[in-house]
Amino acid sequence: MLKKELSECTGIFKGGWRKELQQEIDSLDIQISNMKKRLSSIVKEYNFDSAQAFYKELNAAKREGYKRKRGWQGISGKAER
């Protein structure tokens, strides 16, 4: 969104605004990069090769949990809370 705003910011008197937008974009890009690095180190601490591998296993566990819950509901006829 900021990049779009920057591309639309034209004109002689908007140089300062363009500079401010670019600095904000650069700052956010650095923040995103740092967050990605941190996420990668967190999942590696838990013996996953990547964040993608973590999410793959997480989603599989969720599916298994839903299947078990549905199976329990079928046996008892009630939803467990």
CA distance 43 to 47: 7
Q: What is the pLDDT of residue 34?
A: 95
DSSP, res 80: -
User: Which tens digit of pLDDT belongs to each residue from 32-81?
Assistant: 999 988 988 898 899 999 889 999 999 999 998 887 877 766 655 555 55
User: Which tens digit of pLDDT belongs to each residue from 1-34?
Assistant: 888 888 888 877 777 888 899 999 999 999 999 9
Please enumerate, as own/partner, the contacts of 64-71 that have beta carbons within 8 Å and a separation of 24 or more: none
Q: Answer yes or no: are the C-beta atoms of 3 and 25 closer than 8 Å.
A: yes
Q: What is the pLDDT of residue 65?
A: 86
Residue carrying structure tokens 């923040």: 31
Question: Would you say the pTM of this structure is higher than 0.75?
Answer: no
Residues 6+ positions from 24 with CB-CB distance below 8 Å: 2
